Amino acid sequence: MMKLWNTAYDAGTLYNFNAGYIANYEPALADSYNDSTVGIYLLNSWPAEFKAEALAVTQYWAQEIFSPTGNYYEIIHGDILVNYEYYNYSAAASGVTYKYDFPTVILHELGHLVGLKHVSKSLAPSIMLSTLGTDEVKRQVYTIDKELINTIYEDTALTAEDPVLGKFSKSEDAPQKRGNVYRGVIELMPSGKCLHYLNGKLVEEH
Ligand SMILES: [Zn+2]
């Protein structure tokens, strides 16, 4: 799944590490995930702070950077949490009735982790639509997704619009001052709307 995003991006490598595996790590508090491991967690106990209906969330921590060339946020950590308590997933070759396609969910969340927002239904097909139905299988990065990922990282400074916070950039050499760290959360819902949270507060609903 990481490879699909890397292939979609022309100017470099978005995911330059291998996915590891950690079993039975399920802290109840969302903040406990802000550690040194960028991970995908399959949670049998879904943290109470997230909606029970959420299929999965991507949460990330970003630090405000004050720079002479303009302020921005730097992503310092991110994780994907999958709701295994309330949903059944399948990785079978074709869709399975009443189950959600696991590779589709992960590909979608990996898109958030590198900074993509949801894409409106009118631009479908896209892996970044805000909702997903059971037995819906979309294991590819579509043309619109490829365009978006290449647009937000079009310069070599890797600047992007963050879905929750605003402007992002990779670290730079210019003199800078570091500000507050914020935690953003984007939930993928089985249907209906998508919810964005900032430090636990709902900031966007669409
Ligand atoms: Zn999403």
pLDDT at residue number 108: 95
Q: Is the separation of the CB atoms in 79 and 41 below 8 Å?
A: yes
Model pLDDT for residues 43-86, shown as the tens digit of each residue: 999 998 898 999 999 998 988 888 777 777 778 888 999 999 99
Q: How many angstroms separate the alpha carbon of residue 178 from the centre of ligand 1?
A: 28
Q: Which of 102-111, 117-126, 137-146 has the lowest mean pLDDT?
A: 117-126
Q: Name the phi and psi angles at 172, rounded to 5.
A: -130, 170
| Interface predicted TM-score (ipTM) | 0.98
Q: How many angstroms separate the alpha carbon of residue 117 from the centre of ligand 1?
A: 7
Q: How many angstroms separate the alpha carbon of residue 112 from the centre of ligand 1?
A: 7
Q: Give the containing element (helix H, strand E) for 6.
A: helix 2-8
Q: How many angstroms separate the alpha carbon of residue 173 from the centre of ligand 1?
A: 32
Q: Is the pLDDT of residue 184 over 80?
A: yes
Q: How many angstroms separate the alpha carbon of residue 59 from the centre of ligand 1?
A: 11
Q: How many angstroms separate the alpha carbon of residue 20 from the centre of ligand 1?
A: 22
Model pLDDT for residues 19-34, shown as the tens digit of each residue: 767 778 888 888 888 8
What is the spatial distance between Cα 12 and Cα 124, in angstroms, rounded to a whole number?
26
Name residue 202's amino acid: L
Residue 35, CB-side half-sphere exposure with 13 Å CA sphere = 10
Q: How many angstroms separate the alpha carbon of residue 148 from the centre of ligand 1?
A: 15
